[in-house]
Chain A
């Protein structure tokens, strides 16, 4: 089991009321599986992925990552785990605008302390694998939405993570590009044996997922 949560809860204080974004969620994600979490906007998908991706602290409950309880790790320890084991893909790509496609992919490797030459070689290889070898020196604003998402996917793979977390990866893409992106993620899951957890309401993703969860008002339910 790569990720397991026990009674995972996250509440926020907004004005005078408490909002329960994730409510006693129990989820189990096996290694190398493709998991899809579906739910309407505001249902708690992003909060759940932030908790699983160690970007956020739970209010209560436990998160076990690769068998280890990571609920109470310090920010520094969580950062190291993220850097080495988790790749992120965002709906709005979140590429750094001042860096080229190559530099964006090199960034996680630089943060991990890889030598510049090795960074460049691996980043080029990754961009080649997502079909962007001709766009190495282009900045994000010079790329199409689909290309930007492919750079983001290459970046997520930079440090050869155990798990990729994708939050609405096709939300900003047209249907053709969305289909290509899904195929790419599915390919990574199958060939690289990388666990993929996707929050979405794109039915095409649901079609390829091994496990499907639905989330509504912070409550998670296993669909299939």
Chain B
């Protein structure tokens, strides 16, 4: 159970991080040199002056630019938090889809008008947690903002995002003329890396102040981290696997030693060595099957609970996704793995059982 829970939880972390990679795919992200970028999110570090967008826009190969201001919820409860409780993104109206892609709005909602200053979009997780409805008004730092739409998404990031017009976000959060990054859409057919190099060459002269990151570069930043997480996951799985095999072996040994008389009787009746081994292996394999099914069921509940706690996604939203998080393939693999491990673990007890002789038992009794 713990094996499933832990490995799946870690897997969900890496999935959440990988999910970020789906944002701004193929685009160039221009960020401050001191900015820490995890996939598509500028996590912390310096911001950029908004006017830099004009310099970027004038670079050959650049089709369009969209400045964004990211503000992360400050109430982080734990270092293990996969994503913050909420993310506020300031984006110029009309460019919403740069961030949201094809994510639909909950029924009754609309995209805000292009010249709006007080209309916002809220992710479904936040809406559900705080009972926010379409056309309701919420107060952020003393400003009344109208919720025009609620993003209907299972994305852990978009689900807790508040999308605000850029100017309004700068004003509310006191970041005048400041952006966290500029999303650069390159022209079709151009070499994205070349465009990124051009932007860096242009803006880093004479002082190095920005990074222009392509998708590949963002991946290469995060890959070592993901590899390490996966390595830990593998290590934990390995330790738990060995532990479970040891426990199964011990339990099977106890079981067999308590039933020595039965195996001795089978010996006297003429049961073959193989049939006695198969009896024990089948029993242990069946226990392994039951154990793994129960483990997966409880592990899935544990996983959903853990993920819900860490990501702040309401638990009821995660339950329908249980088969996405714990895929049928993972289920099959886990059950197969546990049954095989149980059978292997039962081999020594099975041999011990098969070697039990009625003569030894009777001699010990009389």
Contacts and interface: CB of A to CB of B under 8 A. Distances in A.
Interface of A: 12, 41-42, 46-47, 50, 53, 55-56, 75-76, 79-80, 82-84, 88, 90, 92, 94-97, 107-108, 111-112, 155, 167
Contact of A79 (B271, B363, B365, B366): B271
Task: In the A-B complex, list the 3 residue pairs whose CB atoms are closest, starting with the nearest.
Answer: A83-B270, A56-B359, A94-B265
Contacts of A53: 268
Nearest to B355: A75
B359 A76 contact: no
28 contacts: A12-B363, A41-B366, A46-B366, A47-B359, A55-B358, A76-B272, A79-B271, A79-B272, A80-B270, A82-B269, A83-B270, A84-B270, A88-B358, A90-B265, A92-B365, A94-B261, A94-B264, A96-B265, A96-B266, A107-B266, A107-B269, A111-B266, A111-B270, A111-B272, A111-B275, A112-B270, A155-B269, A167-B362
Contacts of B267: 55, 79
Nearest to A99: B262
A108 B270 contact: yes
B269 A83 contact: yes
Contacts, number: 63
B357 interface: yes
Nearest to B270: A83
B273 interface: yes
Nearest to A168: B366
Nearest to A79: B270
Given A47-B363, A90-B362, A112-B270, 5 more contacts: A50-B359, A82-B268, A92-B365, A107-B266, A167-B362
Interface string B112-145: 0000000000000000000000000000000000
Nearest to A199: B366
A80 to B, nearest CB: 7
Nearest to B362: A46
A79 B275 CA distance: 12
A46 B358 CA distance: 11
Contact of A94 (B268, B271, B359): B268
Given A46-B366, A55-B357, A97 B262 contact: yes
A139 to B, nearest CB: 13
Interface string B326-366: 00000000000000000000000000000001110011011
A148 B137 CA distance: 81
B284 to A, nearest CB: 15
Interface string B251-281: 0000000000110111111111101000000
* Best-buried of A79, A97, A108, A167 by chain B (most CB within 10 Å): A79
A50 B262 contact: no
Contacts of A84: 270
B262 A46 contact: no
B271 A111 contact: yes
A112 B365 CA distance: 28
Contacts of A112: 270
Contacts of B262: 96-97
A84 B270 CA distance: 8
A96 B363 CA distance: 20
B366 A42 contact: yes
Interface string B231-261: 0000000000000000000000000000001
Contacts of A47: 359, 363
B206 to A, nearest CB: 86
Given A94-B261, A111-B275, A88 B362 contact: no
Contacts of B357: 55-56
Contacts of B358: 50, 55, 88
Given A96-B265, A97-B262, A46 B271 contact: no
* Best-buried of B262, B265, B270, B362 by chain A (most CB within 10 Å): B270
Contacts of B270: 79-80, 82-84, 108, 111-112
A88 B268 contact: yes
A8 B266 CA distance: 26
Contact of A88 (B261, B269, B271, B363): B269
A75 B356 CA distance: 12
Nearest to A94: B265
Contacts of A55: 267-268, 357-359
B283 to A, nearest CB: 10
A112 B275 CA distance: 11
A56 B273 CA distance: 15
B351 to A, nearest CB: 14
B178 to A, nearest CB: 75
Contacts of A111: 266, 269-272, 275
A84 B272 CA distance: 13
Nearest to A57: B359
Contacts of A56: 357, 359
A94 B366 CA distance: 15
Contacts of B272: 76, 79, 111
Nearest to B274: A76
A107 B279 CA distance: 13
B366 A108 contact: no
Contacts of A94: 261, 264-265, 268
A53 B266 CA distance: 14
Nearest to A155: B269
